[in-house]
Amino acid sequence: MQKIGILNSSIAKVLADLGHTDTIAVGDCGLPVPAGVLKIDLALRLGQPSFFDVVQEIAKYMEIEKIHVASEMQAKNPQQWLRMRELFPQEKTGWIISSHEEFKKATSGVKAVIRTGEVTPYSNVILHAGVIF
């Protein structure tokens, strides 16, 4: 049994299989999952686990070179926006900001969508894998 790291075996496998520029999405419990994309559903009940807790934990173990968020997050979920800015400062991590509709289209190319129990609007991100060397 693994002692440290991501204990969820599905997430651990997805992270281990990522290569440079591969992407995964982490979203709220309402984020649609495109046909053919692996869905890892962590939702236990409304609000749990939270979007930010899941993103923060994944960021400990994934080399992330850029993130993709919907522009609507800034106005409609400013608290989440600020937390993301703190976790992924632009001087270290590239940001792609698009409309929510464009964001949803971009999820069709991710390796997996990890759905949380989050119930606040626009709590979604696509994480782009960097390279560790």
Single-letter amino acid code for the residue at 105: K
Token pair recorded at residue 16: 């281990």
| In the chain, % of residues over pLDDT 70 | 100
Asked if 32 and 62 count as a contact pair (C-beta separation under 8 A), the reply is no
What CATH code is carried by the domain that includes residue 26? 3.40.1650.10
Whether residue 59 has pLDDT greater than 90: yes
| Residue 15 covered by a domain | yes
Averaged pLDDT, 1-9: 91
Whether residue 105 has pLDDT greater than 90: yes
Q: pLDDT higher for 3 or 32?
A: 32
| Residue 1 covered by a domain | no
Whose tokens are 């409304």? That residue is 46
| Residue 14 covered by a domain | yes
Number of domains, the chain: 1
Cα(111)–Cα(8) distance, integer angstroms? 16
| Residue 2 covered by a domain | no
The residues carrying an active-site annotation are: 20
| Residue 120 covered by a domain | yes
Q: What does the pLDDT read at residue 1? A: 81
| Element containing residue 58 per DSSP (H, E) | helix 51-61
Cα(64)–Cα(25) distance, integer angstroms? 12
Q: What does the pLDDT read at residue 94? A: 97
Q: What does the pLDDT read at residue 2? A: 83
Cα(41)–Cα(54) distance, integer angstroms? 12
| Residue 19 covered by a domain | yes
| Residue 3 covered by a domain | no
State the pTM of this model: 0.97
Question: What is the span of the domain harbouring residue 72?
Answer: 9-129
